[in-house]
Chain A
Amino acid sequence: MVAGRPHPWYLLGGAALLCVAFFTGADLLLSSGTEDPVARARVHEVVGAAAGLVLLILAVFFGALWRLVFLPLELLGRETRIVGVNPGHTIELPRHHLLGDVPQAIHDLGAGLARSKRLLEEAAAAGSSDPENRQARLETILASLQEGILVCDDRARIVFYNPAARGVFRNNSALGIGRSLHLLIAAAPIENSLQILRQRRVRHQEPPETDSGVSFVCPTLQGGILSCRIRLLPDLPGLPWSFVFTCEDISSEADALGRRESLLRATVKSMRVPLTGLGLSADSLEMLPDLDAARRAELVHTIAHDTLRLITQFEVLAHEIEEMESPRYLARDVFVEDLVACVAQRLEEKGTRLTMIGDPVWVKADVHALLYLLEFLALGIRRSCGVGAMELETLLGDKRVYFNFCWKGAVVPQAEIEGWMSVAAEPFGAHTVGEVLERLGSEVWSRPHGTPGFAILSLPVPSVPGRCVLQPPAPPARPVFVDTPAPDEIVAAGVREFLPLDRAFFVVFDTETTGLAPAGGDEIISLAGVKIVNRGIVVSESFNQLVDPGRSIPQSSTRIHGITDDQVRGRPRIDEVLRAFHSFVGDAVLVGHNAAFDMRFIRLKQERAGVRFQGPLLDTLALSRFLHDHTPAHSLDAVARRLGVEIRDRHTALGDSLITAEIFLKLLYLLQERGVNTLGGALEVSGR
């Protein structure tokens, strides 16, 4: 019972005291009326008996009151709170009570609440409100960007990031809301850039919108190379946003550049010697015309020999350069049928019919350049040979895909094709058709077809015959905007007690194991966790990993969680997984249902993994027991049902983590109703 409310037992105590006082007083009064000891004794007896009777009646009456009114009232109070979080909850009360219509009234109130909640949700989902639509559109655009975008607060903690950022940082689990940017790249370039930008802002009084920021190239802590840019954001009242960090992975370009550089250096080095030899020999021949025949022959032989060496080295260089196709970044996989359909449509508008024949293939090339060239060539053939219809066939070659135009008529003369090369290619700025062709690594020629009367024009496109490589499905892509706590509210571990529950970060986790004995050889086979920030589950981030336990999984265990030996074979071992999980958790508070059980497994292995999970731990089972001690049912299923949490994917680590997370959010609300507002308070209730 919450302190401050009068306890019913006090009433009884008070009544009993009054009774005793009354009867003692009556006894004194009545007994003082006579001097006769027998009469006095009689008075004592009567008063005593009367007092006893009255006290008994009081007790019975009070007991009944307790059973029929006070207890049901207390239960009703708790049940009503549950209805507050789960409007569909049926109020459970002992069968006999004197509360009359009140429980039914409250139940009806709950039903009404559920109805209005549903209506509200439907109205919101109908999405007729403009800001909602605008946000949805923004999110769609952000989700489609290839550049990684991170918004940070002034302590370089990540407040927002888009899905592309995850790709740029190669799914590093240290990337997360509330985590520091310094966990991903070294602090120095960020801090230096911020300093420069702040100086600029102070010195030039420039509004931040016009400052294009500072860009730099830096390595990630995982070994990739990024091209980055930092821009300061204007001060927005109420929002902790401070700067935007955009980044792009240039590791493969950097690699290619590096390879090319080393090749050039090696070639230059290896050519010095034969060049020197050649020069000397030639000079000698010129300066010493009176050399004897044998010496001359020797010099001549040396010249020939060094020349050969040079030529060999040159061939190597030329070959390497051809191998490195340059604008790889422009090449995309495209299905030729789609490409040709597009070109055919454009040509149709210009009075030329293009038919595709043969089997279409996938090609990996610069789509933009291809589209332009195919249209250009078709129109050129029409002009040159006077034909209005032609066919296009694609053939696979060794490292090339041939686009062969075929028509009934004469060959296009080479002179005319040469003329095409100097035509300006409008969509490509200052480049000519010839330059576009060269960038594509291609040539164009026309020759007679095997069948007399027909001609071919070939456009071979260097390409690895592209295969359709499906991108791995991106995880749910809704970017989440979140406010991180103000700096003064984040406190060191020792003073956590006063951290308001609203401002704490939580990671709700669950494990699946081979059995119930952590010290008896049982192992974790699945570990999952979800983040709770600012009273919401962060949908875009979760941890879910199968673990190779290094032992077989007993049938009885598989029957519960469905994980077989095949599924865990080859998965990372617990050391690696714990390290990644530790990185994912950071300094959040761990929460679990019967968390002590899971933590025992984790604590046994943490030293070997080189990490320590020493933060506070909250147990939703203990919290539920504290809040609803009138019922013994506190299994995950029972608590979920009671609080109206949907049970999905039960007995999987991720599914159970999500259920526990939703339960935890409701428990947090109920705790605050009971006056538990700080982390310290929650920890105490949870039994630490």
Chain B
Amino acid sequence: MPRILIVDDEPNIVLALEMLMQREGYEIRTVGDGERAVEAASTFRPDLILLDVMMPRMDGYEVCQRIRSDDSLKGIFIVMLTAKGREVEREKGLALGADLYITKPFSTREVVRKVREMLASKSGA
């Protein structure tokens, strides 16, 4: 069963995403800030991380950069779900190693579809 780590400091969003992903049949872990996200990446070893960017103390960009610079964490899909909607901000996310950058508000159907695709490609490859 694929493992998904959800990182966001907004409780409502975390709740909604958790329910959706559980319904898809994935194993879920949720955290509310960047430091715990980096920790959980090593301990929980998710296949995919749903990552918010705007978080206090350590933002999503930094989380992404840290995970990508750690060779032991290679192969994790990172999907940024963020309210930072400008073009340059999307570029920054992708440049720092995100596989996908989705701006809020987003269509849940879209997110579910994309997550399914990415996980399928991993297991297929």
On whether the beta carbons of B95 and A447 are closer than 8 Å, the reply is: yes
Which A residue sits closest to B105, measured CB to CB? Answer: A311
Tell me the chain A residues, 397-413 only, with Cβ under 8 Å from chain B.
400, 411, 413
Q: Which of B62, B91, B97 contacts A415 (CB 8 A)?
A: B62
CA distance A462 to B59 in the complex (A): 24
Contact of B87 among A308, A311, A322, A411 (CB under 8 A): A322
Question: Is B58 touching A415 in the complex (CB atoms < 8 A)?
Answer: yes
- Is B42's CB within 8 Å of the partner chain A? no
Expressed in whole angstroms, the Cα–Cα distance for A318 and B90 within the complex equals 14
Binds B, one of A168-176, A437-445, A482-490, A492-500: A437-445
Chain B contacts of A445 at CB under 8 A? 61, 92, 95-96
Name the B residues within 8 Å of A458 (CB-CB).
95
Q: Contacts of A400 on B, CB cut-off 8 Å?
A: 88
| B88 touching A443, Cβ below 8 Å | yes
B105 touching A314, Cβ below 8 Å: yes
Q: CB-CB < 8 A to A447: which residues of B?
A: 65, 95-97
Chain A CB within 10 Å — which of B62, B64, B65 has the most?
Answer: B65
- For chain B, which range describes its interface: under 10, 10 to 19, 20 to 34, or 35 or more residues? 10 to 19
Q: Tell me whether chain A's interface is mostly helix, strand or loop, or mixed.
A: mixed
The answer to whether B62 and A443 touch across the interface, beta carbons within 8 angstroms, is no
Give which listed residue, A318, A414, A462, contacts B96 with CB less than 8 A. Answer: A414
User: B35: shortest Cβ distance to chain A, in Å?
Assistant: 11
Establish whether residues A443 and B105, one from each chain, have CB atoms under 8 Å apart when the complex forms.
no
Encoded as 1 (CB less than 8 Å from any A CB) or 0, chain B from 63 to 77 comes to 011000100000000
Q: What's the minimum C-beta distance from B113 to chain A, rounded to whole angstroms?
A: 16
Contact B65 A414 (CB under 8 A): yes
Contacts of B24 in A (CB 8 A): none
Bound: A441/B91 CA distance, A: 13
Chain A residues near B92 (CB-CB < 8 A) = 443, 445
Shortest CB distance A417–B (Å): 8
Q: Does A460 contact B (CB under 8 A)?
A: yes
**A residues 282-341 with Cβ under 8 Å of B?**
308, 311, 314, 318, 322
The distance in angstroms between the C-alpha atoms of A422 and B112, with both chains bound, is 37
Closest A residue, CB atoms, query B69: A411
B85 within 8 A of A: yes
A418 within 8 A of B: yes
Interface size on A, residues (CB 8 A): 19
CB <8 Å contact, A460 and B88: yes
B64: chain A residues within 8 A (beta carbon): 414
Q: A91 CB to closest chain B CB, in angstroms? A: 82
User: What A residues does B61 contact at CB under 8 A?
Assistant: 414, 445
Chain A neighbourhood of B88, CB < 8 A? 400, 441-443, 460, 462
Contacts of A443 in B (CB 8 A): 86, 88-89, 91-92
Which residue from chain A places its CB closest to the CB of B97 in the assembled complex?
A447
Contact with A along B92-105 (1 / 0, CB 8 A): 10011100000001
CB-based contact B91/A318 at 8 Å: no
Interface string of B50-65 (1 = CB under 8 A from A): 0000000011011011
Residue of B nearest to A416 (CB): B62
Among B85, B92, B96, B105, residue most surrounded by chain A Cβ atoms (within 10 Å): B92
Q: CA of A318 to CA of B105 in the docked complex: distance in angstroms?
A: 11
Distance in Å: Cβ of A425 to nearest Cβ of chain B? 19
Asked whether A414 and B62 contact (CB < 8 A) given A443-B92, A445-B92, the answer is yes
* B69 surroundings in chain A (CB, below 8 A): 411
In Å, the complex CA distance between A675 and B55 comes to 92
Give chain A residues whose Cβ lies under 8 Å from the Cβ of B107. Answer: 308, 311
Chain A residue with Cβ nearest B106? A311
Nearest CB of chain A from residue B50's CB, rounded to whole Å: 19
Closest residue of B by beta carbon distance from A307: B105
Q: Which residues of B contact A415 (CB under 8 A)?
A: 58, 62
- Among A413, A445, A462, find the residue whose CB has the most chain B CB atoms closer than 10 A: A445
Q: How far is the CB of A138 from chain B (nearest CB, A)?
A: 45
Q: Which residues of A contact B62 (CB under 8 A)?
A: 413-415, 418
Asked if residues B59 and A418 are in contact (CB atoms below 8 Å), the reply is yes
Residue of B nearest to A437 (CB): B88
How far is A415 from B65 in the complex, measured between Cα atoms in Å? 10
Interface pair B65/A413, CB less than 8 Å apart: yes
Tell me whether A318 and B89 are in contact (CB under 8 A).
Answer: no
B contact residues around A441 at 8 Å (CB):
86, 88
Query: How many Å lie between the Cα of A318 and that of B87 in the bound state?
Result: 11
Closest to A318 in B: B85
| Residues on B with beta carbons closer than 8 Å to the beta carbon of A411 | 65, 69
Interface residues of A in 449-485 (CB under 8 A from B): 458, 460, 462
B49: min CB distance to chain A, Å: 16
Least CB distance from B107 to A in Å reads 8
What's the minimum C-beta distance from B74 to chain A, rounded to whole angstroms?
14
Alpha-carbon distance A415/B91, docked complex (angstroms): 18
Q: Tell me the bound Cα distance from A476 to B59 in angstroms.
A: 58
How many angstroms from the CA of A418 to the CA of B56 in the assembled complex? Answer: 11
Task: Tell me the bound Cα distance from A442 to B91 in angstroms.
Answer: 11
In the complex, what distance in Å separates the CA atom of A447 from the CA atom of B96? 6
Point out the residues of chain B lying under 8 angstroms from A414, CB to CB.
Answer: 59, 61-62, 64-65, 96
How far, in angstroms, from A413 to B38 measured CA to CA in the complex? 15
A460 CB to nearest B CB, Å: 6
CA–CA, A332 to B97, complex, Å?
A: 33
Instruction: Report the bound CA distance from A418 to B65 in whole Å.
Output: 13
A413 / chain B contacts, CB cutoff of 8 Å: 62, 65
A400 to B88, CA, bound (A): 9
For the complex, give the distance between the alpha carbons of A462 and B89 in Å: 12
- When chains A and B are docked, how far (Å) is the Cα of A462 from the Cα of B86? 11
Complex Cα spacing A369 to B96, Å: 25
| CB contact between A460 and one of B58, B91, B96 (< 8 Å): that residue | B91
Q: How far is A62 from B64 in the complex, measured between Cα atoms in Å?
A: 119
A contacts, CB < 8 Å to B: 308, 311, 314, 318, 322, 400, 411, 413-415, 418, 441-443, 445, 447, 458, 460, 462
Question: A414-B65, A447-B95 are known contacts; what are 20 more A-B pairs with Cβ within 8 Å?
Answer: A308-B107, A318-B85, A322-B87, A400-B88, A411-B65, A413-B65, A414-B61, A414-B62, A414-B96, A415-B58, A415-B62, A442-B88, A443-B88, A443-B91, A445-B92, A445-B95, A447-B65, A447-B96, A447-B97, A460-B91
7 contacts across the A-B interface (CB closer than 8 A) = A311-B105, A311-B107, A322-B86, A414-B65, A415-B62, A445-B96, A447-B65
Shortest 8 CB-CB contacts between residues of A and residues of B: A414-B62, A443-B88, A414-B65, A445-B92, A443-B92, A414-B61, A311-B105, A415-B62
